[in-house]
Structure 1
Amino acid sequence: MTESPREHGRQEQQGRSWVPWLVTALVVLLAGGVLFLANRGSQQAQALAEQSRQAAEEAANRARDAEAARKQLEEKLAAAEAERAKLSTEKEQLSTEKEQLSQTVQEQEAELAKLKATYDDLQDKMKAEIANGAIRLSQDAGRIQVDLVDKVLFDSGDASISTRGQEVLTRLGGVLSKVEDKHIQVSGHTDDSPPSQKLQGTFPTNWELSVARAVNVVRFLQEKGGVPARRLVAAGYGEMRPISPNATPQGRARNRRIEVLLMPDLPAQRNAAAVRKALAGSTAGKNAVKPAKGTK
């Protein structure tokens, strides 16, 4: 049976009616796909951006940590360099101190050797007087002391040097003139008995008598013994420094003496203090007086 043209057209029209819906559906699907892809792309972009931000933060943190580590290392290196410089300075100081100590030890050894040579020389030159007790020789702390009882050098109560005293002092001066690094202090001492009335016009007190004797010994050592005057010092102590009780004749005899003290020649800045210490106890009575005779 044949379709009429109207029916055929209606069928074609019915057949084409679903196309708009299909197009609409396709458009919706396509738009949805585009939106999905766009949304997915946005999420991926955000994820990538977040990853980039985190990576940047991590890189910045690592850079800060690296900078902090670098600064800490620089500080440690600077501290190590300062410590090295300090140790180097201390090493140099220790080396210098070691050299100075070694030099000091050598100087002390040389000083002790010279001191022993002088002491031995004095013992040899004065052995007769040492043997009979007229001279006592001692050494301590780099110093040599020669004690001469007054009767070896002076007649009783006299400040002038006797003939025997001149002979003794000549031998003593022969040793002292060779000593170049010592100050030589000559000090006079008496017992506690005041000068007799006969002598008081010349020696009012024992100060004057002790000083006169010391000065005469110094002058003799300089003029006859060849000892340089710059190394000589005269002092008088009177009865103020006894070495024995004055209660017995023997004790008083020991106290009447001349002491010759050889002291180290210290540097100029310390010399004045050393001399003041060595001369402690002496007074204005150290002034020189002219030799005179009397009876003590």
Structure 2
Amino acid sequence: MNIADDAFAAGNSAGSSSFRRWVRVMPALLLVAAAAFVAAYYVPLHRAHVLLLEEQRKSNQKSKELEQTLSQVRGELQAKAAQVDKIEAERQQTEAAKKSGLERLEQIKAELAGKLDKHIKKGVAAVAVADGHAFVVLSESAVFLPNTVDVNPQGQGLLCQVSGALSASGGGQAPLRVGAVSGPPDSVPPALQAAYPTAWELSAVRAATVAQALQDKCAVAGARLSAVGHAEHDPAAAALGATKMPPGRVEISVALPAEPRDAK
């Protein structure tokens, strides 16, 4: 073998050895490259994917919480709306009842005025309704004999007419309240001052006398009657308003029956 052949053989041997080394190193290089790829691309992508999943989970949880809050708020709004509707219905019912009650009081007042029209035109009687009561006010001159506490014959008939009208307005057997107003403290007639030195005494006796006449002459049950003297104080003054009546007078009132309620 000559020198050239030896050199060629030596070159082939070296190349084969180098190739074998590359074959052995190549898997390691591929593994390193794969690891580098995983480290450079997959791991960040995986982390980003995990973060997205976590964000999605949080978003879903928040969405559920918002939906629950919205459902709760919607329920509260519906409850408030129902409450507002109930209050409005009650207000309308109250307004309707008030209007109906006022119309009824005006009707009763008109009925009483119609029955006592002649006396009202003479200025010796007046009618009013207030605070659930109907009032008939009579001048003392239309009821009593002058300078006495005795009921005159015309007064007896007037009292019976008044009690009948008020009883009809109050439901038939409603209590009648008799009050007497004597006017200013110094208004007691001289002829009565010895027996009734004060307006309180005079008004109390006149109220009791009218109640007695209603029982004896008008067949009103005594259990339905009450009598009180007001002296110069006048409970019906506000109800009468601008109606002018003499200071000395008799007031007979009846409590009006309550409005019937609709059955529920």
TM > 0.5: yes
- Report deviation, 1:25: 0.9
Aligned with residue 40 of structure 1, among 25, 29, 33: 33
Match of 1:151 in 2: 141
Match of 2:70 in 1: 76
Q: Per the alignment, do residues 108 and 228 of structure 1 end up closer, same or farther by CA in structure 2, a change over 3 Å counting?
A: farther
Whichever residue aligns with residue 114 of structure 1, its letter is I
CA distance in 1: counterparts of 2:67 and 2:233, whole angstroms: 74
Match of 1:190 in 2: 182
CA RMSD of aligned residues (A): 3.2
CA distance in 1: counterparts of 2:148 and 2:207, whole angstroms: 12
- Report deviation, 1:75: 1.0
CA distance in 1: counterparts of 2:91 and 2:233, whole angstroms: 44
- Secondary structure of 1:178's match? helix
Aligned residues: 243
- Secondary structure of 1:238's match? coil
Question: Please, which runs of 5 or more residues in structure 2 have no aligned partner?
Answer: 235-244, 260-264
Q: Spell out the pairing of 1:139-288 with structure 2 (5 A cutoff).
A: 139=128, 141=130, 144-180=134-170, 184-191=176-183, 192-194=186-188, 196=190, 200=194, 202-227=195-220, 229=222, 232-239=225-232, 254-262=246-254, 264=256
The higher radius of gyration belongs to 1
CA distance in 1: counterparts of 2:168 and 2:50, whole angstroms: 92
Aligned with residue 61 of structure 1, among 46, 55, 61: 55
Q: Per the alignment, do residues 151 and 96 of structure 1 end up closer, same or farther by CA in structure 2, a change over 3 Å counting?
A: closer
| Residue 105 (1) aligns with residue 94 (2) | no
CA distance in 2: counterparts of 1:216 and 1:154, whole angstroms: 10
Contact 1:222 1:229 in 2 (8 A): yes
Contact 1:187 1:260 in 2 (8 A): yes
Whichever residue aligns with residue 157 of structure 2, its letter is E
- Secondary structure of 1:17's match? helix
Whichever residue aligns with residue 227 of structure 2, its letter is A
Give the TM-score normalised by the residue count of structure 1: 0.68
Match of 2:242 in 1: none
Summarize deviations over 1:202-246 as a string: whole Å, max 9, x none: 4242311211111111222234324455654422133456xxxxx
- Secondary structure of 1:258's match? strand
Give the TM-score normalised by the residue count of structure 2: 0.75
- Secondary structure of 1:139's match? strand
- Report deviation, 1:145: 4.2
Contact 2:180 2:204 in 1 (8 A): yes
Q: In percent, how many aligned pairs have the same letter?
A: 18
Summarize deviations over 1:258-282 as a string: whole Å, max 9, x none: 2334555679xxxxxxxxxxxxxxx
Whichever residue aligns with residue 139 of structure 1, its letter is A
CA distance in 2: counterparts of 1:198 and 1:121, whole angstroms: 33
Match of 2:240 in 1: none
Aligned with residue 137 of structure 1, among 126, 133, 151: 126
Contact 1:189 1:210 in 2 (8 A): yes
Question: Please, which runs of 5 or more residues in structure 1 have no aligned partner?
Answer: 1-7, 242-252, 268-296
CA distance in 2: counterparts of 1:266 and 1:230, whole angstroms: 21
Summarize deviations over 1:13-43 as a string: whole Å, max 9, x none: 5543334422321133224422321111112
Match of 2:238 in 1: none
